[in-house]
Chain A
Amino acid sequence: MAAPYERLKSWMHELNLCIRCGYCYELCHLYKSHAYETDTPRGKLLLIYGLLTGALQPDPGMVEKVVQCFYCKNCERSCSSKVSLTKIFTDAKADFLDAGIDFRGLAARTDDDLCSRCRVCQAVCKNEAISFGEDGKKIDIVKCEGCGVCAATCPSNAIIMVEGFGVTRGELRETVRAFLEEV
């Protein structure tokens, strides 16, 4: 097992490069929906920085805030410091799991009783997050970006999306669309 937060530590310089301008939350779906800076990409980077410097402890609330991301990558497109935001969030998930910290985040989960092992989900997953082995089907919640394509294509309706933030991707899109039309 790697040393605590080994992956995140390797991003420390990137965290310093972030000028904390906040341009990343201009188009962040989560922020537009929740309207708290804690739900912004800048906020996630701050939390990770706090964790690495010992200023923050990985309590469940903090961990969920770091891993809650829809991987739309709008933040990366608007970041001119070119910080690899979503790669950092993915490494945070891996480091949390290594540290024995569980989280909900946003990931697909399978109902094994319904799964027919047809492997359609495995074929459509662009992140290669799904595997089938001796002990059944596995979804790697670090690799899973919660796009929902597996759930949409499963002929047995065996996959559900765990929405750690009480709002689905579709609902978020709708909020953002309504917001943009309003202004």
Chain B
Amino acid sequence: MNARDIEKLREIVGEENARSSPADLYIYGADASVHAARPDLVLVPGKTEEVQAILRYANAKKIPVIPRGAGSGMSGHAVPIDGGIVLDMKRMNRILEIRPQDILCRVQPGVVDDDLNKALKPYGFMYPPAPASSCIATIGGEIANNASGTRSVKYGATRDSVLGMKVVLASGELVKLGANTNVEASGYQLERLMVGSEGTLGVIVEATMKIVPIPKIRCLGIACYNKLADAGHAVSEIIASGCSASMIELMDNVAITAVNETQNLGLPDVEAIILFEAEGRVKDAVQAEIDAIQAACEKHGGFNIETSYDAKERTRIFAGRKKLFSSLSRYKEGYACTSLADDMAVPYSRMADLAGKIHEVAARNNIIMSAYGHCGSGCMHTKILMDVTKKAQWEDARRAVAEIYDYVHSVGGTTSAEHGIGLSKAPAFKKEKADSLELQRAVKRAFDPNNILNPHKLFDAPDDWVTATELRYPVGSVREP
């Protein structure tokens, strides 16, 4: 990318919406992952025509373009591994329409999840997936990542909320995918293909999303366990016994301790807790679900079960889960929380084994790991806590990540439940999907023949995540400034 390219591209969005100072490039090369790289230019388009013009130019010159939402991705999806243009979509943040009678809304991709929910509330509606990062994550980023969250057990992941979208292809062409209807059987579901595409197939410039009425009554409960495995079995029991839960979250003792340390919540110091929720229109119906969930929890050793309908109390209990990831950094002096092997899904019946396996792998590799997650939807999270300044710890982490994913694949699980693949989960992803990688590459070529959109991610990411980019941590000694 030369000076003339930068000048031409600046002209498209206007001087104030283009940045190329060292400070800007440094910041837009990072996200919430362990990776860091630098783009050559940051562009912040304000309308679809600008996105089209940028892509037309970039495609002709074969310049990489990396769409970016809030940069809250945990696996390096938005890290510009080959330089090029970071396309910050946060300025396209208008809610275009809210149509309660059609249970849908149309939004630009830069709308923040919580802002959408604030806007929907007066209509009595909500946008349901509810990732923990909803206060910053953008709808575009959530679609490109197939985000899910606490309520996905009931309402599904982002893919279940997407009805249609407008996408700018690598060529600059604008296409409409899906429909503004609740059902559609008109050919290939290309809007679904965009879900989870991590910015590699096109730039989403508008999305039509399904919304749901806010339930009138909600009840949140908490159950304690002396054995982590029991909590895992209870999750499977709740699901298999047909309870209609709107949330089932698991937290192990590492997670509980970290959250208590930073949030001062006074959660019980047990080996594991499950947070569960039921919701509906009628209190008796909600209570019936809560009773059934409670029975399933007790069947596997759940004790000190408490439930509450009070909004304040529910918020207090849930606050810990919302801030869990960042709290983990305070678990042990000298250790930092890294986003590695952060996310996976296994069949419900394997949840208990997986939770135990995570701690077993951690102990064997001299690191600390935590088992937690939106287990109601089959999703398990972990993080690796370690001394990030020591080279040996990165070797430990490399081994631990591989061991965890070998186990996940061996029981029929998958590499990512919701955080996506990016760079750091790519080696595991490539192993898991070995027989369809060529097919995926063919799809990519059909959409983006010049490979300009977020190149070298997913199936084309480097085989070793540790050396894929610079690490964001000062491994070894800190250089003198």
Q: Residues on A close to B: CB < 8 A?
A: 4-5, 9, 12-13, 16-23, 25-26, 35-38, 43, 46-47, 49-57, 59, 61-62, 65, 78-82, 183
A-B contact list, 5 entries, CB within 8 Å:
A4-B481, A23-B133, A26-B136, A35-B90, A37-B71
Kindly state whether residue B478 has any CB partner on chain A within 8 Å: yes
A-chain residues with CB within 8 Å of residue B135 when the two chains form the complex? 23, 26, 78
Look across to chain A and name the residue whose beta carbon is closest to the beta carbon of B114: A26
The answer on a CB contact under 8 Å between B474 and A35 is: no
Which of these, B23, B119, B326, contacts A19 with CB under 8 Å? B326
The answer on a CB contact under 8 Å between A22 and B88 is: no
Look across to chain A and name the residue whose beta carbon is closest to the beta carbon of B69: A22
Interface membership of chain B positions 88-117, coded 1 if the CB is closer than 8 angstroms to chain A and 0 otherwise = 101100010000000000000000001100
A-chain residues with CB within 8 Å of residue B327 when the two chains form the complex? 80-81
A-chain residues with CB within 8 Å of residue B478 when the two chains form the complex? 9, 12, 52-53
- A-B complex: 7 closest residue pairs judged by Cβ atoms: A80-B323, A80-B326, A62-B23, A17-B329, A81-B329, A54-B479, A16-B336
Most chain B beta carbons < 10 A, residue from A20, A23, A80: A80
Interface membership of chain B positions 321-361, coded 1 if the CB is closer than 8 angstroms to chain A and 0 otherwise = 00111111110001011010000000000000000000000
B-chain residues with CB within 8 Å of residue A26 when the two chains form the complex? 114, 135-136
Look across to chain B and name the residue whose beta carbon is closest to the beta carbon of A180: B118
Known: A35-B90, A36-B19, A52-B481. A81 touches B330 (CB 8 A): yes
Most chain A beta carbons < 10 A, residue from B23, B30, B118, B323: B23
Kindly state whether residue B365 has any CB partner on chain A within 8 Å: no
> How many B residues, CB 8 Å from partner?
49
The answer on a CB contact under 8 Å between B323 and A38 is: no
Look across to chain B and name the residue whose beta carbon is closest to the beta carbon of A66: B23
The answer on a CB contact under 8 Å between A183 and B481 is: no
Nearest CB on A from B6, distance (A): 17
Q: How far, in whole Å, are A35 and B46 apart by their CA atoms in the complex? A: 12
The answer on a CB contact under 8 Å between B329 and A50 is: no
Look across to chain A and name the residue whose beta carbon is closest to the beta carbon of B263: A80
The answer on a CB contact under 8 Å between A62 and B22 is: yes
Q: How far, in whole Å, are A47 and B481 apart by their CA atoms in the complex? A: 12
Nearest CB on A from B170, distance (A): 25
Known: A36-B19, A53-B478. A22 touches B71 (CB 8 A): yes
Most chain A beta carbons < 10 A, residue from B28, B119, B334: B28
Q: How far, in whole Å, are A79 and B88 apart by their CA atoms in the complex? A: 23
Nearest CB on A from B315, distance (A): 15
List residues of B (402-416) whose CB comes within 8 Å of A's CBs. Answer: none
Interface membership of chain B positions 156-177, coded 1 if the CB is closer than 8 angstroms to chain A and 0 otherwise = 0000000000000000000000
The answer on a CB contact under 8 Å between A22 and B19 is: no
The answer on a CB contact under 8 Å between B26 and A19 is: no
**Total cross-chain contacts (CB, 8 A):** 121
Known: A25-B136, A37-B88, A54-B481. A62 touches B329 (CB 8 A): no
Q: How far, in whole Å, are A43 and B24 apart by their CA atoms in the complex? A: 9
Nearest CB on A from B401, distance (A): 17
B-chain residues with CB within 8 Å of residue A183 when the two chains form the complex? 95, 115, 118-119
Look across to chain A and name the residue whose beta carbon is closest to the beta carbon of B470: A55
A-chain residues with CB within 8 Å of residue B473 when the two chains form the complex? 16
B-chain residues with CB within 8 Å of residue A81 when the two chains form the complex? 262, 326-327, 329-330, 337
Nearest CB on B from A7, distance (A): 13
Q: How far, in whole Å, are A27 and B128 apart by their CA atoms in the complex? A: 23
B-chain residues with CB within 8 Å of residue A50 when the two chains form the complex? 23, 26
B-chain residues with CB within 8 Å of residue A16 when the two chains form the complex? 336, 388-389, 473-474
B-chain residues with CB within 8 Å of residue A51 when the two chains form the complex? 481
Which of these, B23, B44, B262, contacts A80 with CB under 8 Å? B262
The answer on a CB contact under 8 Å between B388 and A62 is: no
Which of these, A19, A43, A59, contacts B337 with CB under 8 Å? A19
Nearest CB on A from B22, distance (A): 6
List residues of B (53-97) whose CB comes within 8 Å of A's CBs. Answer: 70-72, 88, 90-91, 95
The answer on a CB contact under 8 Å between A36 and B24 is: yes
Interface membership of chain B positions 458-479, coded 1 if the CB is closer than 8 angstroms to chain A and 0 otherwise = 0000000000000011100011
Which of these, A53, A57, A78, contacts B22 with CB under 8 Å? A57
Kindly state whether residue B480 has any CB partner on chain A within 8 Å: yes
Which of these, A13, A54, A56, A79, contacts B326 with CB under 8 Å? A79
What would 16 more interface pairs be, CB under 8 Å, given A19-B326, A54-B479?
A12-B478, A16-B474, A17-B330, A19-B336, A21-B133, A21-B325, A22-B70, A23-B135, A52-B478, A53-B474, A59-B21, A59-B22, A61-B23, A80-B324, A81-B337, A82-B330
